[in-house]
Structure 1
Amino acid sequence: MRKTISALALSLLPLWAMADGLSSLEAFMKTAQAGKAQFTQTVTSPGRDGQPGRSKTSSGEFQFQRPGKFSFNYTKPFEQLIVADGKTLWMLDKDLNQVTQRAQAQALGSTPAAILASATDLEGLRKDFGLANAPDAEGMEWVQATPKAADNQLREVRVGFDAGKLAALEILDSFGQRSLIRFAQLQVLPSLPASAFRFTPPAGVDVLKQ
């Protein structure tokens, strides 16, 4: 009986060895070439004078296509769209009737978007981030990514995986503001139509080029 238990334990060792955040992140980057999910984002400002920070919550749909294409379509409480088409990063704010246009290569670098959609393996990601496993929490495996650029506005990014599936993205910026994005109904797909990442500024909006 003891021999049977020992043999079973040894057979599971490779699975245990893979059960960490970095292994889940690497598998996600290599196997998830495209996909979409619903998301909820909670942004919490740092507290002051002993008072807790204020939080704001928004939600919408996230889509990505490797390498370098993604969109965050915010639908609640306000409509906002962020689209990266591989060359240009577009940001549409419907309330302001304004579009911001930036060269994607300059805008993404050491950003959370590089983790989700740009890099294709850990070695590529390590050019811009220091990567390490973080302690498991909330039933998820976590990876901590620290930007290497000295002038980056991010302090750290944490990526959470639930049973190998992308489940959360936590961002702490240099001002102490924390943003937690939780993903749900994730669908990993072979590809998405090119139209998913095609953006044309609506007629009448102000376009700001940066």
Structure 2
Amino acid sequence: MAFGALLTLGTLAAHADAIDSLETFVKTVKSGRAAFTQTVTSPPREGQAARTKTSTGSFEFQRPSRFRFVYTKPFEQTIVADGQTLWLHDVDLNQVTARKQADVLGSTPAALVAAAPDLAALRADFDLKAAPDADGLQWVEATPKTKDGQLAAVRVGLKPGDKGPELAALDIQDSFGQRSVLRFSQVEVNPSLPAASFQFKPPAGADVLRQ
């Protein structure tokens, strides 16, 4: 067998492992908790350099379809999916937006890591392709099958853990050229999470917008 063919087979095997790791993660990690740092890079405008902003917070999820993002810096914001409704609370504005979860969650990065019960459910909404390993992580590229949303593509970065593959990063590209990279740390796999983590009640006096 030619050396080039061996390299090709080796690359394919490595890529297959990335898809296998994502499948194992979805099957075996039923809940999780982590801290995150998110860096958003906006495309450069004419005569200006690209702009970046960094946020930090915490993330919890309970499969299927329940998760909680809490942004603490630089601005406080909470996003909760309770299985029926996706809530977004902007603390500074004291404004809450409520959307029917089934209408907005399918082709989103959250669906990849927290909502889908299995790989078949992901394949219903995304074209999945293994990408080359980088930064010590296995990467899977997911492209939404529907082209009318804001999400262009997302890469899921996984690393080996004591209990199987762990979520390490999300690299998200939207249709406007904006890139958002989330790096996860202090990852806990299958912790027991209270039901209250995925419940949300608009605070008194908040302006509630239902869409």
TM-score by length of 2: 0.88
Partner of 2:149 in structure 1? Answer: 152
Task: Give the distance between the partners of 2:139 and 2:56, measured in 1 at CA.
Answer: 22
Compute the displacement of 1:18 (Å): 8.5
Higher Cα Rg, which structure = 1
Residue 28 of structure 1 aligns to a residue whose secondary structure is helix
Q: Could you tell me which amino acid in structure 2 is paired with residue 179 of structure 1?
A: S
Partner of 1:200 in structure 2? Answer: 201
| Distance change >3 Å, CA 18–CA 132, structure 1 → 2 | closer
Task: Give the distance between the partners of 2:14 and 2:140, measured in 1 at CA.
Answer: 15
The structure 1 segments of at least 4 consecutive aligned residues displaced by more than 4 Å after TM superposition are: 16-19
Deviations 1:127-153 (A, max 9, x none): 000000011111111000000002121
Q: Could you tell me which amino acid in structure 2 is paired with residue 124 of structure 1?
A: A
8 A contact 2:166–2:189 mirrored in 1:
no
User: After superposition, where does 1:56-205 map in structure 2 within 5 Å?
Assistant: 56-163=53-160, 164-189=165-190, 191-205=192-206
Task: Give the distance between the partners of 2:189 and 2:173, measured in 1 at CA.
Answer: 27
Compute the displacement of 1:20 (Å): 2.8
Q: Which runs of 5+ in 1 are unaligned?
A: 1-12
Residue 126 of structure 1 aligns to a residue whose secondary structure is helix
Task: Give the distance between the partners of 2:147 and 2:22, measured in 1 at CA.
Answer: 24
Task: Give the distance between the partners of 1:136 and 1:200, measured in 2 at CA.
Answer: 42
| Distance change >3 Å, CA 178–CA 17, structure 1 → 2 | closer
Query: Which of residues 37, 41, 47 in structure 2 aligns to 1:40?
Result: 37
8 A contact 2:33–2:191 mirrored in 1:
no
Deviations 1:36-92 (A, max 9, x none): 000000010011336431000001100000110001000111110000000000000
Q: Could you tell me which amino acid in structure 2 is paired with residue 111 of structure 1?
A: T
| Identity among equivalent pairs (%) | 63
Compute the displacement of 1:17 (Å): 6.1
TM-score by length of 1: 0.89
8 A contact 1:37–1:183 mirrored in 2:
yes
Compute the displacement of 1:19 (Å): 7.3
8 A contact 2:15–2:132 mirrored in 1:
no
Q: Do residues 21 (structure 1) and 22 (structure 2) align?
A: no
Task: Give the distance between the partners of 1:150 and 1:120, measured in 2 at CA.
Answer: 23
Q: Give the count of matched residue pairs.
A: 196
Q: Which runs of 5+ in 2 are unaligned?
A: 1-9
8 A contact 1:20–1:142 mirrored in 2:
no
Task: Give the distance between the partners of 1:107 and 1:144, measured in 2 at CA.
Answer: 20
| Distance change >3 Å, CA 139–CA 51, structure 1 → 2 | farther
